[in-house]
Amino acid sequence: MTIELKRVVVTGLGAITPLGNTVAEYWEGLISGRNGIAPITLFDASQHDSQIAGEVKGFDPLTYLDRKEAKRMDRFAQFGVSASKQALADAEFVINDLNAEQVGVVIGTGIGGLKVMEEQQEIYLNRGPDRCSPFMVPMMIANMAAGLTAIQTGAKGPNNCTVTACAAGSNAIGDAFRLVQRGYAQAMICGGTEAAVTPLSFAGFCSCRAMSTRNDDPAHASRPFDIGRDGFVMGEGSGILILEELDHALSRGAKIYAEIIGYGMTCDAYHMTNIAPGGEGAARAMSLCLKDAGVTPEQVSYINAHGTSTPVNDPNETAAIKTVFGDHAHRLTVSSTKSMTGHLLGGSGGIEAVASVMAVAHDRVPPTINLVNPDPACDLDYVPNQSRAQTVELAMSNSFGFGGHNVTLLFKKYR
């Protein structure tokens, strides 16, 4: 039996980020090359090696939730639900009794409700088990951003949570794409969310020496592809897309930002934290994505790189791009928006998909800021320090996670 694959388009966007709490603010921050990294304010980081982060600033969950609801959500879920409501409003998509069973949710996260877990552990140790909150478990479990989004919006279709470390947000979008493409839903709310700027999270990442310690210069700490990079900078927030079956979107007169046409995922099967040599697994994910989309490497205009600003990731991702794109690799524009937002872990694929879609919609490529002295092993066009106007027909978004998870998405200009 042959399944008729449906065309899938992006009709709504939502974003809570270190550069702003709407898509418009986020995009303006990206194209202006604004830095979102600053000293940590969410906890006392004085004992940690890394004391800087891309925190979400000025976020008020009561903009989207009533006070009782907000109190029963960890910060990561607040971000995910809020960005989802933004995206639905942007798409002018109303969920009602007639369509609720055809609208689903997939929202990924790498860590979930770590803040609540840390707070409840302290209560347990200091005041005993009877004082722990009855909401501790439902607040901390990773699937709750997806579950609460459905509860808040009435979406009764397929509902899932991807937990694939830093690839989680992109996996969520790819899985949602498949569900619409194959007719299991008419529309999906999908993306990633994370709120891991917490003491325990920083202790763990600092112990494995993954994070930047450029505490005296946070504005220049996240510097992908630069020879002076010394590790990633943690960020937090959420990026959400509304994916919709094309005919359904056209029937209701929806605006269309872009079409999603490709999804590739692989595993390195190599190491818990390191990338396979030469970015072998990442290259396969990109190749599978191109094959899935039915396009050639030469058709791709722009790659939103995983670009973490770590010594290991950046040259290996560069090598992977060269493997897949050959001579065309040097004609591509490639940039890492993590240079401005930091690394949102499971939320990164969500906000970077938003950035990729906006690049397609507006024919403008965000820069890689803080790229002053390029690493000789990183010799592609990384759009250093200033955004660039160019026609973006196809934009690729890469996400790679601990455990060897590699995900690539491909967005196309809708005509």
Residue 80's nearest CA partner among 177, 11, 169 is: 169
CB-CB neighbours of 235 under 10 Å:
28
Widest Cα–Cα separation across the chain: 64
- pLDDT band at residue 389, thresholds of 50, 70 and 90? very high
Q: Phi/psi of residue 388, each to 5°?
A: -140, 130
Task: Give percent above pLDDT 70 in the chain.
Answer: 100
Q: What per-residue confidence (pLDDT) applies to 274?
A: 85
pLDDT by residue (tens digit) across 179-204? Answer: 999 999 999 999 999 999 999 999 99
Number of alpha helices (DSSP H) and beta strands (DSSP E) in the chain: 13, 14
State how far the Cα of 81 lies from the Cα of 253, in Å rounded to an integer.
25
pLDDT by residue (tens digit) across 204-247? Answer: 999 999 999 999 999 999 999 999 999 999 999 999 999 999 99
> Once rounded to an integer, what is the mean pLDDT over residues 246-257?
98
Query: Helix 23-31 to helix 348-362 angle, to the nearest 10 degrees?
Result: 70
203, two tokens: 């202790």
Residues with catalytic function: 166
State how far the Cα of 65 lies from the Cα of 85, in Å rounded to an integer.
10
Please check whether the domain covering 8-251 is classified as CATH 3.40.47.10.
yes
Q: 406: part of which helix (H) or strand (E)?
A: strand 405-412
Residue 382 has pLDDT above 70, yes or no: yes
Residue 307 DSSP one-character state: -
**H helix runs in 326-404, sequence order:** 338-341, 348-362
DSSP letters, 221-267, are T--TTBTT--SB-BB-EEEEEEEEEHHHHHHTT----EEEEEEEEEE
- The residue ranges of every structural domain in the chain are 8-251, 264-412
pLDDT by residue (tens digit) across 63-95? Answer: 999 999 999 999 999 999 999 999 999 999 999
Instruction: Mention the CATH class of domain 264-412.
Output: alpha beta
- pLDDT band at residue 275, thresholds of 50, 70 and 90? confident
332, two tokens: 């591509």
- pLDDT band at residue 273, thresholds of 50, 70 and 90? confident
Q: Phi/psi of residue 112, each to 5°?
A: 80, -145
List residues bridging with 266 in a β-sheet: 406
Contacts (Cβ under 8 Å, ≥6 apart) of 128: none
DSSP letters, 50-87, are --EEB---S--GGGTS-HHHHHTS-HHHHHHHHHHHHH
pTM above the 0.95 mark? Answer: yes
Across the chain, mean pLDDT equals 97
Residue 1 has pLDDT above 80, yes or no: no
Q: Phi/psi of residue 304, each to 5°?
A: -85, 105
Q: What per-residue confidence (pLDDT) applies to 2?
A: 74
pLDDT by residue (tens digit) across 109-133? Answer: 999 999 999 999 999 999 999 999 9
Task: Give percent above pLDDT 90 in the chain.
Answer: 97
Residue 103 has pLDDT above 80, yes or no: yes
Pairing mode, strands 333-335 and 103-108: unpaired
Fold agreement between 8-251 and 264-412: yes
